[in-house]
């Protein structure tokens, strides 16, 4: 059981015990630097250890800091340098919390791996899929969409059938020290004090960029750090207040130019998604598409791109125009009933 030191994984471990499993708590030490916002602080490891003591289970700590830096932190920094908007928590799930942890579980002879994600696993015609959790407001199927069949066959989500309110009720009833602990909302290696600007500024050079009107190219201002600008951004782009709302509608990274304009300029009819992974086999036709962790899904048709620069990717054709998705963000495909994940990839 992956114990993060939060209430969800604490109750998940208790649910496994209730169901009769032999449970060992595992905490992954991922980030070796300063942390005050996520699931990697010293306090979180201590909370996980104490919860394991309360539940009467063994607790181990695995040091995966090198893997975390290689697969999460370094790509996060590189993505910003290239003008992309990455999802580090998804990459952490992909490479560490499932793949790397499963490798270690195999070495130690465990039968299954469990986490405290608000998601479920369902089966259709012998094929397993990640499905939405019971609590729509806390559903995390989006961030675990990448699990292949081999992982789904031995993964458990013990609280996927519970609402968050019920999770806290159970934690209170058992007297768990994490019962009232707030949820982690931020990237664990970005501190509150410094934020993204300090973290990235110490690792990559920032470039200034000219802000121009998207329609006529009129210069409007300047930003100090092009690498901090993302599609759809409205604040922090060096424009005076009081005028019409302007959004970042395009970024020319090579020319160091940020184009701004009316929100309507963000609308598009299609989207190219690359690096797609499927739960079972490639899907096509009508699906529902989600492009942020807690965003809404939108109906679309998907088809494989047969040729050109997008060959091998998936082309999403929206039923109704949608806001452009920032390159680098994860795009997840759900079945037409909005119940389970068919696959997902990265916006191009």
328: left (phi over 0), alpha (psi -120 to 50) or beta: left
Tell me which DSSP letter residue 224 carries.
Answer: S
pLDDT of residue 144: 97
Tokens of 284: 């096509």
Query: pLDDT grade, residue 319 (50/70/90)?
Result: very high
pLDDT score of 296 more than 90: yes
Among 39, 40, 89, 188, the one annotated catalytic: 188
| Consecutive H or E run containing 81 | helix 74-81
| Short-list 268, 292, 267, 270, CA closest to 344 | 292
pLDDT of residue 312: 72
Instruction: Based on the residue annotation, tell me whether 188 is a catalytic residue of this protein.
Output: yes
Residue 250 pairs with which residues in a beta bridge? 259
pLDDT of residue 260: 97
pTM for this one?
0.93
Tokens of 124: 């259709």
Phi, psi (rounded to 5 degrees) for 260: -125, 155
Question: Do the Cβ atoms of 186 and 134 come closer than 8 Å?
Answer: no
Instruction: Based on the residue annotation, tell me whether 39 is a catalytic residue of this protein.
Output: no
- pLDDT (mean) for 290-296: 93
pLDDT of residue 38: 55
Tokens of 212: 């121009």
Q: What is the pLDDT of residues 226-279, one digit of tens each?
A: 999 999 999 889 887 777 899 999 999 999 999 999 999 999 999 999 999 999
Burial zone of 22 (CB within 10 Å; 0-12 exposed, 13-18 middle, 19+ buried): exposed
Residue entry with tokens 């806390």 = 138
Q: For residue 149, what are the contacts with CB-CB under 8 A and spacing of at least 6?
A: 127, 128, 279, 280
Report all structural domains of the chain as residue ranges with CATH numbers, in order of start.
Answer: 7-116+158-174 (3.40.50.620), 206-261 (2.30.30.280), 266-347 (2.40.30.10)
Q: What is the pLDDT of residues 13-66, one digit of tens each?
A: 999 999 999 999 999 999 877 655 556 667 889 999 999 999 999 999 999 999
Among 40, 89, 92, 268, the one annotated catalytic: 92
pLDDT score of 307 more than 70: no
Phi, psi (rounded to 5 degrees) for 320: -125, 145
Computed over its alpha carbons, how large is the radius of gyration of the chain? 21
Tokens of 89: 């928590």
Q: 186 vs 108, which has greater pLDDT?
A: 108
Residue-wise burial string across 250-289, b where 16 or more C-beta atoms lie within 10 A, e elsewhere: ebebeeebbbbbeeebbeeeebbbbebebbbeebeeebbb
pLDDT of residue 236: 87
Task: Give percent above pLDDT 90 in the chain.
Answer: 84
Residue entry with tokens 């969800």 = 8
pLDDT of residue 305: 81
SS3 content of the chain, % helix, strand, coil (to 5): 30, 30, 45
In the predicted model, what is the mean pLDDT of the chain? Answer: 93
- pLDDT (mean) for 158-162: 98
Tokens of 122: 């369902």
pLDDT of residue 195: 87
Of the listed ranges 23-32, 108-117, 338-347, the one predicted with least confidence:
23-32
Interatomic CA distance for residues 266 and 214, integer angstroms: 11
Mapping DSSP to helix (H, G, I), strand (E, B) and coil, where does residue 334 land? strand
pLDDT score of 320 more than 60: yes
Q: In degrees, to the nearest 5, what angle opens at C-alpha 327 toward C-alphas 324 and 333?
A: 70
Mapping DSSP to helix (H, G, I), strand (E, B) and coil, where does residue 11 land? helix
């Amino acid at each position: 059981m992956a114990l993060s030191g939060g209430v969800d994984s604490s109750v998940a471990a208790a649910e496994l015990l209730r169901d009769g499993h032999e449970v060992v708590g595992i905490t992954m030490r991922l980030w070796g630097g300063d942390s005050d916002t996520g699931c990697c602080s010293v306090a979180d490891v201590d909370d996980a250890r104490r919860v394991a003591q309360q539940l009467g289970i063994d607790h181990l700590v695995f040091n995966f800091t090198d893997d975390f830096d290689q697969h999460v932190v370094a790509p996060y920094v590189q993505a910003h340098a290239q003008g992309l908007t990455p999802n580090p928590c998804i990459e952490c799930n992909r490479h560490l919390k499932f793949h790397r942890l499963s490798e270690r579980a195999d070495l130690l002879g465990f039968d299954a791996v469990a986490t405290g994600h608000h998601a479920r696993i369902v089966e259709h015609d012998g094929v397993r899929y990640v499905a939405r959790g019971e609590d729509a407001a806390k559903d995390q199927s989006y961030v675990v969409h990448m699990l292949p069949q081999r992982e789904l066959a031995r993964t458990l989500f013990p609280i996927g059938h519970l609402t968050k309110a019920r999770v806290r009720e159970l934690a209170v009833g058992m007297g768990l020290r994490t019962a009232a602990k707030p949820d982690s909302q931020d990237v664990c290696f970005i501190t509150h004090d410094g934020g993204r600007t300090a973290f990235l500024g110490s690792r990559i050079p920032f470039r200034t960029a000219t802000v121009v009107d998207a329609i006529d190219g009129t210069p409007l201002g300047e930003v100090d750090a092009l690498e901090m600008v993302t599609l759809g951004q409205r604040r922090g782009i060096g424009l005076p207040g009081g005028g019409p709302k302007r959004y970042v509608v395009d970024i020319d990274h090579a020319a160091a130019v940020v184009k701004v304009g009316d929100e309507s300029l963000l609308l598009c009819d299609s989207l190219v998604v690359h690096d797609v992974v499927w739960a079972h086999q490639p899907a096509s036709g009508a699906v529902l598409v989600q492009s942020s962790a807690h965003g809404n899904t939108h109906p679309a048709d998907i088809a494989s791109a047969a040729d050109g620069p997008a060959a091998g990717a998936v082309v999403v054709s929206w039923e109704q125009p949608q806001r452009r998705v920032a390159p680098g963000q994860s795009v997840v495909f759900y079945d037409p009933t909005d119940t389970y994940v068919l696959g997902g990839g990265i916006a191009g």
